[in-house]
Amino acid sequence: MAGLIDTYKDATALQCSFIEKLGQLDLESVNGFADSLASFLREKDEKNFVYGLAAGRSALSLYSFLQLLYNHFNAFPCTMEDPVQKHFRDTRKNLGIAVSGSGETPAVNKYIEDIINQGGDIRLITANRDGTAHSLVEEYENGSVLVIKGKTKYDLDMTRTSKLSPMGTEFELEVLAFLNAVFKEVQGRIEGERTKGCESYLSTIRDFAAQCRLISRVDEEGLATWFERLFPRSGRYIIGGVGRSGLVARAFEMRLSHLNKTSYWERDFNTPSFQIGDVYVPITGSGNTYECIEGVKSAFKRGADVLPITTNPSSELVELMREKGRGVDTAFIPVSEEYLDQICGSRRTTSWLVSEYSMHRYPIFEINASIFTNSVVAVGAEFLGIEEAGMKRLHA
Cβ 115 vs Cβ 91: under 8 Å: no
Whether the per-residue pLDDT at 357 is higher than 50: the answer is: no
User: Is 126 in a helix, a strand, or coil?
Assistant: strand
Cβ 112 vs Cβ 124: under 8 Å: yes
Provide the total of helices (H) and of strands (E) in the chain, helices listed first: 16, 11
Question: How far from 74 is each of 40, 52, 362, CA to CA, in Å?
Answer: 10, 16, 19
Whether the per-residue pLDDT at 167 is higher than 60: the answer is: no
**pLDDT range class, residue 204, cuts 50, 70, 90:** very high
Whether the per-residue pLDDT at 125 is higher than 80: the answer is: yes
Main-chain dihedrals φ then ψ at residue 268, nearest 5 degrees: -70, 155
Over range 17-43, report the average pLDDT: 91
Q: Kindly report each contact of residues 342-351 with a partner whose C-beta sits within 8 Å and lies 24 or more positions away, as own/partner.
A: 343/285, 343/286, 343/311, 343/312, 344/285, 344/286, 344/287, 344/311, 344/312, 344/314, 344/315, 345/286, 347/286, 347/288, 348/286, 348/288, 348/289, 348/290, 348/316, 349/289, 349/290, 350/290, 351/290
**pLDDT range class, residue 390, cuts 50, 70, 90:** confident
What is the pLDDT, as a whole number, of residue 119? 87
pLDDT by residue (tens digit) across 242-257? Answer: 888 999 999 999 989 9
Whether the per-residue pLDDT at 208 is higher than 90: the answer is: yes
Over range 350-376, report the average pLDDT: 72
**pLDDT range class, residue 352, cuts 50, 70, 90:** very low
* Single-letter code of the amino acid located at 135: S
**pLDDT range class, residue 268, cuts 50, 70, 90:** confident
What is the pLDDT, as a whole number, of residue 157? 55
What is the pLDDT, as a whole number, of residue 388? 72
What is the pLDDT, as a whole number, of residue 44? 63
Whether the per-residue pLDDT at 240 is higher than 90: the answer is: yes
Over range 70-81, report the average pLDDT: 81
What is the pLDDT, as a whole number, of residue 363? 80
Whether the per-residue pLDDT at 275 is higher than 80: the answer is: yes
Distance CA(202)–CA(198), nearest Å, equals: 6
Whether the per-residue pLDDT at 173 is higher than 70: the answer is: yes
Q: Of 165, 147, 133, which Cα lies nearest the Cα of 54? A: 133
What is the pLDDT, as a whole number, of residue 302? 96
Over range 74-84, report the average pLDDT: 77
Query: Domain locations in the chain?
Result: 2-214, 218-364
Asked if domains 2-214 and 218-364 share a fold, the reply is yes
**Helix/strand/coil percentages in the chain, nearest 5:** 55, 10, 35
Whether the per-residue pLDDT at 22 is higher than 50: the answer is: yes
What is the pLDDT, as a whole number, of residue 147? 94
What is the pLDDT, as a whole number, of residue 219? 85
Whether the per-residue pLDDT at 150 is higher than 50: the answer is: yes
Cβ 172 vs Cβ 101: under 8 Å: yes
User: In this prediction, what percent of the chain has a pLDDT beyond 90?
Assistant: 53
Over range 298-318, report the average pLDDT: 95
Q: Of 147, 205, 143, 185, which Cα lies nearest the Cα of 26? A: 147
Helix (H) or strand (E) holding 76: strand 76-79
Q: Name the more confident of 267 and 173.
A: 173
Q: Which residues pair with 279 in a beta bridge?
A: 237, 305
Whether the per-residue pLDDT at 170 is higher than 60: the answer is: yes
| Diameter over CA atoms, the chain | 62
Strand bridging mode 305-306 / 279-282: parallel
What string of DSSP letters covers 143-161? EEEEE-----TT----SHH
Which CATH fold topology does 218-364 show?
Answer: Rossmann fold (3.40.50)
Of the given ranges (75-89, 100-114, 329-343), which has the lowest mean pLDDT?
A: 75-89
The reported pTM is 0.89
Over range 342-355, report the average pLDDT: 56
How does the average pLDDT of the chain come out, rounded? 86
What is the pLDDT, as a whole number, of residue 156? 54
Considering the segment(s) 2-214 as one domain, its CATH architecture is 3-Layer(aba) Sandwich (3.40)
**pLDDT range class, residue 73, cuts 50, 70, 90:** confident
